[in-house]
Amino acid sequence: MQKLQQSLCCQQCHFSQLCLPYSFKGKEIERLDDIVVRKSPYQKHQRLYVSGQPLVSLYAVRSGSFKSFTLSEDGEEQITAFHLPGDIIGFDGLEMMQHQSYAEALETSMICEIPYDTLDHLAGVFPKLRQQITRIMSGMLCQHQAMLLQLNKRSASERVLYFLASLGQRFGDRGFSDKAFRLSMTRSDMANYLGLSIETVSRLLTQLQKEDKIEVEGKLITLLDKAIPS
Amino acid sequence: MQKLQQSLCCQQCHFSQLCLPYSFKGKEIERLDDIVVRKSPYQKHQRLYVSGQPLVSLYAVRSGSFKSFTLSEDGEEQITAFHLPGDIIGFDGLEMMQHQSYAEALETSMICEIPYDTLDHLAGVFPKLRQQITRIMSGMLCQHQAMLLQLNKRSASERVLYFLASLGQRFGDRGFSDKAFRLSMTRSDMANYLGLSIETVSRLLTQLQKEDKIEVEGKLITLLDKAIPS
DNA sequence: CGACATGTTGAGACACATCAAACTGAGTGG
DNA sequence: CCACTCAGTTTGATGTGTCTCAACATGTCG
């Protein structure tokens, strides 16, 4: 049991450099470990939280993947992000201390739950932790800005390629291949996120393949040299 | 001179409830006042910072307005936000401690400069301040999520109306009329922000006027009852 | 194996972009 | 004070990228 705990702690986690423990020393990381709750696995389609629910914790993806989305008044879904291991989910709920979106597992996934009141308290004590939280939120703002450019200025084809390339880069950051990976989301999810129709996404995937920019085999994607922007 | 300083301090500022001092008591707000630098006015088109520049301060809009934008490799502008009095600009630079965008005055404007290292230090000391910074950044994430829905799911007409309505609401939050206001940005800026062409924005403004949803007189906008979503 | 979600491909429609031209208004100089 | 200029705005005519509708193919899970 002790060993299991050990294997699950932040020091052992492969994604700690992307997550909260970034640049932490022994003492600080132990305090973080104390407050983190390792939950049982989430199954595909299972929700981490729903919109309107009081925010008590943030959630770090340990394995698997999630999507975040909002629902408009008339019930249409808008996916706002896909989350990979090391990502932290729930920051949009801190303003009102109520979740402003939904988070749903795209596959069987593991989660570390981080109670927010204790995290905030630690943020007062450890400047490094405070700065890391700030850094993560700031990075999310930058991502949104890049996305805005894509949606407003780029063609459907460019958006699809951008999506695959940035996903590849994120896999690369996590020590996986940045060229070949498996999509955990459906074509419908991709289309929703990119503001396109399912049919357009499907067509463009085959077209990009014809242009020798990518290889597609169902959910398996390989980025070829031509995919890299000129 | 002492009086001038007084009239410029956070306690006297009409927009403090939107800004950092939100829910602050005397002692804390004074410390904030100590570190804030009131700068001379910025003229139209003058830039607060440029992309790539090291981040040393955040900036609170005191009066007037600004736009934030990024430039793509091939030099095309993408406006990411418009800033009104009480807004704080520069959060996207905290990840790299380097500004990731440009901020430019849309009209003659006053700014409060907030040195970031001292702000961060105060954030360690005052939980309220730390929470307010978090709240502001979280709110920006929510705004981006709402924008994503607009860009991906709404028609050009709906986007223009949404833009005017949310601008009106923000004016309302600041104690101005939420129904009648003057746009400080050009049609081109609006179009750029909303991912539309200038011509489309212009056409839709006249069309919305014909539908008795708004009144347009150059830069002066009035929202009519019909503008409020059904 | 059957059922149902997911993905692909084609044909036609349409919302918005682009191109083009005229209009307006603020600032400038004669 | 008026003519000039130029950025900003409006309006019209035409083009096109992507959506919609429809049919079919594939994969997945009981």
- B14-52 residue pLDDT tens: 898 889 887 777 777 888 888 898 888 999 999 999 999
Closest CA to B175 of B61, B39, B84, B59: B84
Task: Suggest the residue from B97, B129, B142, B189 to mutate for an interface test with chain A (most A CBs closer than 10 A).
Answer: B142
**DSSP tag of B178:** S
What's the pLDDT tens digit per position in A57-101?
Answer: 999 999 999 999 999 999 999 999 999 999 999 999 999 999 999
Q: Indicate if the pLDDT at residue B96 is higher than 60.
A: yes
Q: Two tokens at B177?
A: 């009329």
Res B230: pLDDT: 57
Residues of A in contact with B148 (CB under 8 A): 78, 80, 144, 147, 151
> With contacts defined as CB-CB under 8 Å, which chain A residues touch B140?
141
Contacts of B55 (CB under 8 A, 6+ apart): B49, B90, B93, B94, B96, B97, B98, B99, B116
Residue B160, CB, strand C, below 7 Å: no
pLDDT computed for residue A57 by the predictor: 97
Range with lowest mean pLDDT among A124-128, B2-6, B70-74, B98-102? B2-6
Q: What is the pLDDT of residue A6?
A: 44
Tell whether the model's pLDDT for residue B92 goes beyond 80.
yes
Tell me how far apart the alpha carbons of residues B21 and B177 are, in angstroms, rounded to a whole number.
23
- The answer to whether B179 touches B189, Cβ cutoff 8 Å, is no
pLDDT confidence tier of residue B183, bands split at 50, 70 and 90: very high
Judge whether residue B84 has pLDDT over 50: yes
Whether the domain at B2-145 and the domain at B154-223 fall into the same CATH topology: no
B131–A120 CB contact, under 8 Å: yes
Q: Is B216 on the interface with A (CB under 8 A)?
A: no
Tell me what the mean pLDDT of segment B97-111 comes to.
96
Contacts of B125 in chain A (CB under 8 A): 124
Q: Average pLDDT of B97-126?
A: 95
Give the whole-angstrom CA distance, residue B119 versus residue A226. Answer: 46
* B130, closest residue in chain A (CA to CA): A124
Q: How far apart are CA B108 and CA B106, in angstroms?
A: 7
Strand order of the β-sheet with A88-89 is A37-38, A110-115, A57-63, A88-89
Whether the per-residue pLDDT at B2 is higher than 50: the answer is no
- The count of residues in chain A is 230
What average pLDDT does chain A have?
92
CA–CA distance, B38 with B28 (Å, rounded to integer): 18
CATH of domain B154-223: 1.10.10.10
Report the topology of domain A2-145: Jelly Rolls (2.60.120)
Distance from CA of B132 to the nearest CA of A (A): 8
Question: Which tens digit of pLDDT belongs to each residue from B135-166?
Answer: 999 999 999 999 999 999 999 999 999 999 99
In angstroms, the CA of A199 and the C1' of C12 are apart by 15
Question: Per residue in A109-163, pLDDT tens?
Answer: 999 999 999 999 999 999 999 999 999 999 999 999 999 999 999 999 999 999 9
Residue ranges per structural domain of chain A: 2-145, 154-223
Q: Predicted confidence band at A230 (pLDDT cuts at 50, 70, 90)?
A: low
Among all chains, which residue has been given the structure tokens 């011509």? B199
Footprint of strand D on the protein (CB under 7 A): A 155-157, 195-197, 199-200, 218; B 186-188, 198-199, 201-203, 205-206, 216, 218-219
Write the Ramachandran bin of B202: left for phi over 0, alpha for psi from -120 to 50, otherwise beta. Answer: alpha
